[in-house]
């Protein structure tokens, strides 16, 4: 009889494929308020990506994510539309389209839509868990 204790569960291999934004539902994650929504486009649950999370987010005027910190995650935010106030470390910065920020692990950060239109941005996170 084979010993199954030493065998690891193997996830199905990820596949390359074209997807459409409309396939994904908007979600409001914990710590996000007032219409701070995201569509998780690439993750271990959607595409089998083991170490990457890629999403588009839209924050309605006055929506925000509270200041928080990740122990291991690093993130990139790339802003597409609108404007807001980004807090990172002890700094505050107005953000607008075509700006981006790299947020290393252990840097407190939060984001508020302070504009009159939706704040739209892409988020890349790796690894997917702290």
Domain that holds residue 31: 22-126
| CATH number (domain holding residue 113) | 2.60.120.10
- Of 125, 129, 44, the residue nearest 77 (C-alpha): 125
Question: pTM for the whole thing?
Answer: 0.88
Whether residue 5 is contained in a domain is answered as: no
Percent of the chain past pLDDT 90, that is, above it, reads 81
Whether residue 6 is contained in a domain is answered as: no
The pLDDT, as a whole number, for residue 8 is: 44
- The span from the CA of 74 to the CA of 91, in Å, is 18
Q: pLDDT at residue 19 above 80?
A: yes
Whether residue 54 is contained in a domain is answered as: yes
From residue 56, how far is each of 3, 6, 80 by CA, in Å?
44, 39, 10
Are 110 and 68 in contact by the 8 Å Cβ rule? The answer is: yes
Span 22-73, pLDDT tens digits: 999 999 999 999 999 999 999 988 888 989 999 999 999 999 999 999 999 9
Span 96-113, pLDDT tens digits: 999 999 999 999 999 999
Q: Return the structure tokens found at 73.
A: 């995650």
């Amino acid at each position: 009889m084979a010993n199954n204790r030493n065998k690891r569960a193997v996830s199905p291999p990820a596949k390359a494929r074209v997807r459409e934004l409309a396939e994904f539902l908007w979600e409001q994650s914990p710590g996000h308020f007032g219409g701070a929504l995201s569509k998780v486009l690439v993750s271990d649950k959607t595409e089998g990506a083991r170490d990457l999370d890629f999403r588009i987010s839209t924050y309605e005027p006055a929506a925000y994510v509270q200041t928080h910190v990740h122990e291991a995650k690093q993130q990139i935010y790339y802003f597409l539309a609108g404007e807001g106030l980004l807090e990172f470390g002890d700094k505050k910065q107005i953000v607008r389209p075509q700006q981006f920020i790299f947020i290393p692990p252990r840097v407190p950060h939060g984001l508020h839509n302070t504009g009159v239109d939706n704040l739209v941005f892409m988020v890349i996170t790796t690894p997917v868990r702290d």
